Amino acid sequence: MSPADVNTEHPLELEAPRFSVKKPAVRHDKQGEVPDAERVKRAMQNFVKDFGRTAAIYMESCVHCGNCAEACHYYVTTGNPKYTPIWKIEPFKQAYKREYGPFAWFYRTLNLKSAVSVERLEEWQELIYDSCTVCGRCSLICPMGIDIASLVTLARHGMSKAGLVPHELWAVAERGEKEGSPLGATPKVFKERIEWLVDDYEVEIPLDKAQAEVMCAMSSIEIMKYPESIVATAKIMKHVGADWTFRLDGYEATNFGLLSGNAEWQREMSMKLINAAIACGAKTLILPECGHAYGALRWMGANVYGKPLPFRVLHIAEFLAEHVKSGRLKLNKIGKSVTFHDPCQISRRGGAIEAPREVLTALGVELREMEPGKGLNWCCGGGGGVVTIHRADPLRYRVFQLKMNQIDETGAELPVTSCSNCRQTFDDGQAHFKWDKTMNSLLEMVADNLEEEAA
Amino acid sequence: MDLLTFARGPGLFWAVTIFVIGVLWKLVGVVLLRAKPDLSVARKPSAWTGLRLILTRTWPRREFLQSTAYTEVLGYTFHIGFFVALAFYLPHILFFEDVFRGLIGVNFQGVFGVSWPYFSGGVIYFSGAVAFAALIALLIHRIASPVKRLISNFDDYFSWLVTIAPLATGMLAFSHVGAPYQTLIAVHLLSVELLLVWFPFGKLMHTFTVFLSRGTQGMQFERKGATL
């Protein structure tokens, strides 16, 4: 299969358990030729560009209690205080107080907050990107109720404008912008994949229908690494009798614009899906097993579009749960013990916590919850674009051990999740630690257990 | 003008003025910032129920209880001790009632129908001492804990200083130790005034912003059905 690797500058690595660009011989963690002062200016201006009341309230409320460290997998596994979540946005907190807060003049006059330098921002790149999956666990421990993860996202906006994004994350985001997919799942590749899957699996996969009730999207990881997910989607759609389609003008739900902090790219990527869904008159847009794609469209989509979306946005697990409830989705009982890994952006921060459990209940599994579980679940360590960054690997493996232990402690036979990014992080961790557990996809598990007579 | 006259007169006036204007300036400056409407379809019909976070975040979730116990227990010990000493000490109450009467022209009792309750001096002294000890322990923790030491700045230490100062001077005044009583009262008043003047500029503002930030997270997360 050709990865259609049209970008020779940042070639993809599609053979390893974790998909990214190849490990660069020379890192370019600074993009563009811009004077340092200009970088700092851009970072700070764009940090505050979307800086409304909410962010200002959060900025004014921190009492430096340090509790957030205890919720962060990076701090908990390393004991290194620099991974304290609120410290990860320190230069931006400093700049807010010095330049933009109600008492900015006071802080400047007494020099209580020094000006931020480009060196400081470069130093912080590791904290804002490599060691934050934006999992939002810290937001739940903060006694002041500060949503620290949302501030990291704002900080990434600033860093992206300043051209200070880690090499690989920037490279895949740029590929997404130029080619329509960060991991080589261009429209041509997607079309070829579908043709191949239709032949090999003898399934019907509608593409580019002019009108459809339901439009489905996939993540590039699924298209390139887990193409069975496409087949699973098709089988399930047929099973429930959905009038559905994929569309080449909007199929890629992965949004590295969001993860890298490039708000313009984020918007363009989201608008492709929104326009495609509108073009085919879809009443429902189904997002794939991808954590950040859910946040990008379900919660940010309408805000990007500028008005309420004229269709519903559902994660595939929510769609499955709806059809379990309606009785259209009839499943065979698996009879095994299962533990469900909650993807942070879907469960903790997205609110779709019960849907996958309702589907698992319909599969007749013995569900063994992790401790802590559900919305307090530990992140796998691959979210927020971290899994693409090679230099972050040692740290990522360290935090992954927390996850392995959690799953092992349940004693469940099968770990299951509903995020392909989590899944590839697990695949990579499994290979690294020679772990005896393989992460399963809820979607594929459902597709493999459809009741025949109902199909 | 002697020290006590200054502390009771212009000192108090300007400290309260800076406090009131500063607090309003900061709160209004933040609240008036643009807030983009969220156009996504809420999972829950009313986000207002998320305001419960203002109460529920008062104590950590079970999962975080153990790891945050030291900070939480000492934090609460300080806050409760400080509040009791501030609000239930008869001379303080007489002072507040005086201000109350001055502002609205009627007695506290005339408005609320009950008199302001108070504790004996011994209870107040004990309460102040407990708050004092908790603050010392919190400072030690701030310096000893690698996390807290790293994230601490001038604001943390200065706010600590202006908070412990009224406790220390109040306890000295109560015990009549170290200087003539009038001087002790003047120093106590001046330390309170220092706290009031610094209040709007630093972290002490969390007294007010805690409600805003918890309420904001609560409402934003609730509409998504996200974990609170």
- Whether residue B39 and residue A75 make contact (CB cut-off 8 A), yes or no, is no
Distance CA A286, CA A312 (A): 8
Distance CA A424, CA A432 (A): 12
SS (H, E, C) A154-218: HHHHHHHHCCCCCHHHHHHHHHHHHHCCCCCCCHHHHHHHHHHHHHHHCCCCCECCCCCCEEECE
For B147, the closest of A57, A84, A139 (CB atoms) is A84
- Interface probe for A, chosen from B19, B64, B143 (most Cβ of A below 10 Å), is B64
Alpha helices in A202-262 (DSSP H): 220-224, 228-239, 256-260
- Whether residue A140 and residue B61 make contact (CB cut-off 8 A), yes or no, is yes
Which has the closest alpha carbon to A343: A294, A409, A388, A300?
A294
- Interface probe for B, chosen from A49, A62, A65, A354 (most Cβ of B below 10 Å), is A65
Condensed to tens digits (0 to 9), the pLDDT of residues A250-297 reads: 999 999 999 999 999 999 999 999 999 999 999 999 999 999 999 999
The per-residue pLDDT for A156 is 95
With contact defined as beta carbons under 8 Å apart, do A158 and A261 qualify? yes
Please name the residues in contact with B91: beta carbons below 8 A apart, sequence gap of 6 or more.
none
- Whether residue A53 and residue B226 make contact (CB cut-off 8 A), yes or no, is no
Whether ipTM exceeds 0.90? yes
The per-residue pLDDT for B227 is 96
CB count, 10 Å around CB of A285?
25
The per-residue pLDDT for B124 is 96
For A61, the closest of B154, B200, B210 (CB atoms) is B210
A contacts of B28 (beta carbons < 8 Å):
102
The per-residue pLDDT for A7 is 56
With contact defined as beta carbons under 8 Å apart, do A205 and A246 qualify? yes
CA B90, chain centre distance (Å): 19
Condensed to tens digits (0 to 9), the pLDDT of residues A344-383 reads: 999 999 999 999 999 999 999 999 999 999 999 999 999 9
Please name the residues in contact with A160: beta carbons below 8 A apart, sequence gap of 6 or more.
A46, A260, A261, A262, A263
A297–B contact, CB cutoff 8 A: no
Higher pLDDT, A50 or A373: A373
- Whether residue A65 and residue B148 make contact (CB cut-off 8 A), yes or no, is yes
Would you say the C-alpha torsion B87, B92, B97, B98 has a positive or negative sign?
A: negative
With contact defined as beta carbons under 8 Å apart, do B215 and A145 qualify? yes
CB pairs under 8 A between A and B: 180
Residues 166 to 195 of A: which have CB under 8 A from any B CB?
Answer: none
Distance CA A294, CA A159 (A): 23
A434–B contact, CB cutoff 8 A: no
Distance CA A216, CA A122 (A): 39
Condensed to tens digits (0 to 9), the pLDDT of residues A65-123 reads: 999 999 999 999 999 999 999 999 999 898 888 888 888 888 888 887 788 889 999 99
With contact defined as beta carbons under 8 Å apart, do A212 and A277 qualify? no
Return the H-helix or E-strand segment holding A374.
none
Burial of A323 (0-12, 13-18, 19+ CB in 10 A): buried
